């Protein structure tokens, strides 16, 4: 596979190494001449110097025959434009863009640049997984299909304890798909009773998470 990487920062350089090791043909484009010199000592002819948002630089790097373009500069605008041009002007099949500021993710989406990878977001996900709020874990997100699968831990103080699945009051667009208990799991029926210590897997439409979580989270006494 021919892969073009724009940006030879820590991410770009390490990606290049890994992808070359896996037997791919890789070209890296770097704008800063100092950085270029450092990385060139290792990558040699596989790095080119230039502003990767300029069309002639991309063309010189062979964007027309690239199977994959990875835009990992430190500038979100640059990453957006590079991916957009790669896809729409040069017909590159696959692009991956780095989103430095998670607040810019909506711009990536709006301009059709996907997937956009945000390190901050990934780390947040990991934190969520390690330190789950109300024991909530995202198992799978399907943004295009607008579905997600989550896992909830049922604490002893959860209002769901002792209730039948049909009585949980879950909103339309959400469904309990299995209950994990005592090292095993089963697909519940409407009259299965939720117990403390259960892990409940649900599939739901995007946006219902807060509503669903509320059915399992202990109510605050303050009210």
Partner 1 sequence: MFVLIVGCGRVGSAVAKAMLAQGHTVSVLDEDPEAIAQLNKGQAESWEDLGGQFTEGTALEIDALLQAGIERADAFVASTDGDNTNLVIAQIARRRFEVERVVVRVLDPARAKWYSDQGLQTVCPTQIAIELLEQAVSGQAPFEGVTG
Q: Which residues bind partner 1 (CB under 8 A)?
A: 53-56, 75-78, 80-81, 85, 88-89, 101, 103-104, 106-107, 110-111
CB of 56 to partner 1, least distance (A): 7
Shortest spacing between CB 204 and partner 1, in angstroms: 27
Please state the closest distance from residue 55 (CB atom) to partner 1, in A. 4
Closer by beta carbon to partner 1, 103 or else 146? 103
In whole angstroms, how close is the CB of 65 to partner 1 at the nearest point? 19
Supply the minimum distance, in Å, between the C-beta of residue 89 and partner 1: 6
Sheet holding 116-117, edge to edge: 47-49, 25-30, 2-6, 68-71, 94-98, 116-117
Residue 64 CB, shortest distance to partner 1, in Å, is: 14
Q: Which residue do the tokens 């996907």 mark? A: 114
Closer Cβ to partner 1, 55 or 157, answer by number: 55
Three-state SS at 18? helix
Instruction: Give 136's contacts (C-beta < 8 A, 6+ positions apart).
Output: 128, 150, 151, 152, 153, 209, 213
Q: Measured from the CB atom, is 40 or 78 closer to partner 1?
A: 78
- Residue 90, preceding peptide bond in cis (omega within 30° of 0): no
Nearer to partner 1, 47 or 85 (CB): 85
What is the CB neighbour count within 10 angstroms for residue 177?
13
Among the listed residues 179, 155, 169, the one whose alpha carbon sits nearest the alpha carbon of residue 211:
169
Give the C-alpha separation, 75 to 177, whole Å. Answer: 42
Query: Under a CB-based contact definition with an 8 Å cutoff, are residues 26 and 12 in contact?
Result: no
Q: Which is nearer to partner 1, 104 or 213 (CB)?
A: 104
Choice between 53 and 174, CB closer to partner 1: 53
């Amino acid at each position: 596979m021919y892969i073009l990487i724009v940006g030879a920062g820590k991410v770009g350089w390490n990606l290049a190494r890994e992808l070359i090791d896996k037997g791919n043909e890789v070209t890296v484009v770097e704008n800063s001449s100092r950085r270029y010199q450092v990385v060139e000592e290792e990558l040699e002819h596989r790095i080119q110097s230039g502003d990767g948002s300029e069309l002639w630089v991309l063309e010189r790097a062979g964007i027309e025959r690239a199977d994959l373009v990875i835009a990992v500069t430190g500038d979100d605008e640059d990453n957006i434009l590079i991916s957009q041009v790669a896809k729409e002007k040069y017909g590159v099949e696959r692009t991956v863009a780095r989103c430095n500021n998670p607040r810019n993710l909506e711009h990536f989406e709006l301009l059709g640049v996907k997937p956009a990878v945000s390190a901050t977001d990934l780390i947040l996900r990991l934190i969520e997984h390690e330190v789950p709020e109300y024991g909530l874990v995202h198992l799978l997100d399907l943004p295009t299909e607008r579905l997600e699968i989550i896992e909830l831990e049922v604490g002893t103080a959860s209002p769901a304890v002792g209730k039948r699945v049909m009585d949980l009051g879950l909103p339309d667009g959400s469904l309990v798909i299995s209950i994990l208990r005592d090292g095993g799991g089963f697909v519940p029926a409407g009259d299965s009773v939720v117990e403390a210590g259960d892990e409940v897997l649900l599939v739901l439409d995007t946006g219902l998470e807060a509503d669903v979580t509320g059915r399992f989270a202990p109510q605050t006494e303050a009210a």
